[in-house]
Structure formats: C-alpha cells, structure tokens
C-alpha cells in the first residue's frame, strides 16, 4: 500500500530502505482515487520511533493512505524537537471540522497516573468524544486502549504487581470476526506496561467483544460498535529492538525490570532478539484498514 506522507518526514528514508512504498503529494495528485484519511494521535515521547513503527504496520494492503499526525496542545513534548512537531504535526483545532476514515490513538508513558491526573486528559477526552461522529473506526493502543475503555465504558485500570514485559502468547476467541481473519489459533505479541484492565470487567461489559486474550497478559484485543472502537492492549507494531531499548533504558535508570519474557534467545540480552510477531501484526493492521475503515467508510463524508 502506498502511504502518503510529507517528502521530508524523517521516517520516509527508513521506510524506503525497507522497500515500503511511500509517496509524496506530487505523485499522489496523479492518482485518480480517494485515499483513506487516517489520523494518528501520537502520545509517545519519542514520536519519530512511533511514526516509523505505525507507518510500517499500515503498509501492507493495496489501499492508499493519507496520514495526518496529531499531537496534544496541553502537554509540552520534551523528547521531540519543536521543529519536528511544527513541521509534521497538527493540533485538534486544526482537524476538528474534518472527517477521518480511521484514527489511531497511541500509548503514553503515564499509565501509573490516574486518568484525571494526566495533564492532557480533558483534551484527549474531547478528542475521543469527537471520534464518535468524525471517525469511521478508531484503534486505541496500550494506554490509549485503557483510556478509551475508561472514557467510553467506565472500566478503570489497575496496577500490576510487576511490569508486564515481553512476548506473550494469545488465543483467538473467534476467527470469523474480520479483525482476526487469517490468524492462527495462537499468536505472539509484545507487551510493555505496568497496568491492565480487569479481564472479567471486559468480558462482563455487554458492549465489548473479546477477540484475543492471554492466560498471562489478559485481554489483548476487544472491540465495540461493530469495530467503530477497537482496543489493543499490547504493541504488535513494535520492531525487533524496541523491548531491548526499553530494557536497557530501565537498567540504566536502576528501575526494577526483568529480562523481557520469550524475547532473547536463552534469555541472554547479549543475543539478537527474535522477531516473532511481525506477520500477525501486519495481518491485524491490514484487516483493520480493509474491513473496518475502507469497507465501512462512505466515499464522500
């Protein structure tokens, strides 16, 4: 799938190196099709890493996708340059009158705080309310999923005894649901979080349908409103070295951290991590774009 991004976005060079088809405005104007409009609310501190991971994940269908990056105004990012933000990001006031076919709300490193204590909670609540009328399907990731479940369905998160960190096995609950079409019975996905949403609370919520879960990591994937709202607790978009970087970062800060589960060969951090989740990650994002964004969105809003 061609992803339409600004020609000078730093992620473009790496995507092209990986043989992923990207195009700029000039080339896109020569194609007589309506691209899917996808907005990515990037709440992660190092935004360039998340940009690359998500653009890579969105690159596996024949659909053309026009990506808009969004940031919150009520929080100052300290890990991404102001120049990068000003050049490549919009704020909610810029887009609130627009309609989007799909939206992704990322995770954020604020999970150990109460939702109302997060300095941009009021703003993100406004955005999540806006998605009900202005977005065909919204995919919430990790903390974004916890925030969405809390805002839309009143399901609060709870603190885990220790960080859930590594590669976990999950079982598909119903493979006939288009979002997990083509999945194996069991598949792997990365997790990196201190909190969770109670498994029973999700199962007992009549509006939610669980699509994949793990004995160790809990619910990974659930949805509501026939896919208008999708909640993904893990990080299948992570690349090979993301957990490695997080592990060494936490070690360097003397934070309590264990070796990521099922990640390094022989649990030896000196060895190259195994990439064991990419095919199912590609399948998940392709299914989302095809069945819940492209197939459901009107040609003209």
Tell me the C-alpha distance between 101 and 112, whole Å: 31
- Give the Cα separation of 231 and 62 in Å (integer): 24
* Active-site residue, from 191, 213, 237, 280: 237
Is 237 considered catalytic here?
yes
- Phi/psi of residue 195, each to 5°? -130, 165
Please give the DSSP secondary-structure letter assigned to residue 178. G
Out of 152, 170, 235, 280, which one is annotated catalytic? 235
158 catalytically annotated: no
Helix axes of 143-153 and 121-134: crossing angle, nearest 10 degrees: 70
**Annotated catalytic residue within 39, 142, 205, 222:** 142
Separation between Cα atoms, residue 221 and residue 227, nearest integer Å: 11
Q: From CA 235, how far away is CA 180, in angstroms rounded?
A: 16
CA angle (95 as vertex; 91, 98 as ends), nearest 5: 170
How far apart CA 295 and CA 285 sit, in angstroms, is 14
Does 142 qualify as catalytic in the annotation? Answer: yes
Active site residues: 142, 235, 237
């Amino acid at each position: 799938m061609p992803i339409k991004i600004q020609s000078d976005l730093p992620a473009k060079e790496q995507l092209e190196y990986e043989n992923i088809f990207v195009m700029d405005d000039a080339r896109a104007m020569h194609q007589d099709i309506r691209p899917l409009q996808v907005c990515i609310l990037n709440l992660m501190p190092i935004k360039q890493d998340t940009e690359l991971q998500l653009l890579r994940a969105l690159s596996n269908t024949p659909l053309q996708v026009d990506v808009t990056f969004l940031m919150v105004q009520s929080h100052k990012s300290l890990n991404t340059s102001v120049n990068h933000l000003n050049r490549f990001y919009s704020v909610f006031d810029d887009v609130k009158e627009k309609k989007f076919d799909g939206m992704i709300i990322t995770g954020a490193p604020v999970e150990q705080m109460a939702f109302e204590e997060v300095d941009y909670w009021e703003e993100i609540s406004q955005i999540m309310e806006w998605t009900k009328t202005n977005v065909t399907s919204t995919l919430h990731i990790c903390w974004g999923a916890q925030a969405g479940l809390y805002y839309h369905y009143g399901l609060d998160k709870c603190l885990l005894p220790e960080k859930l960190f590594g590669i976990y096995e999950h079982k598909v609950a119903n493979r006939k649901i288009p979002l997990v079409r083509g999945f194996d019975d069991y598949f792997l996905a990365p997790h990196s979080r201190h909190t969770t949403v109670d498994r029973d609370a999700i199962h007992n919520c009549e509006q939610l349908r669980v699509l994949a879960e793990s004995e160790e990591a809990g619910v990974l994937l659930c949805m509501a409103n026939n896919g208008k709202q999708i909640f993904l607790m893990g990080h299948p978009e992570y690349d090979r070295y993301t957990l490695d970087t997080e592990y060494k970062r936490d070690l360097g800060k003397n934070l309590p951290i264990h070796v990521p589960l099922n990640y390094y060969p022989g649990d030896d951090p000196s060895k190259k991590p195994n990439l064991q989740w990419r095919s199912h990650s590609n399948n998940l994002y392709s299914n989302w774009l095809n069945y819940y964004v492209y197939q459901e969105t009107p040609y003209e809003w």
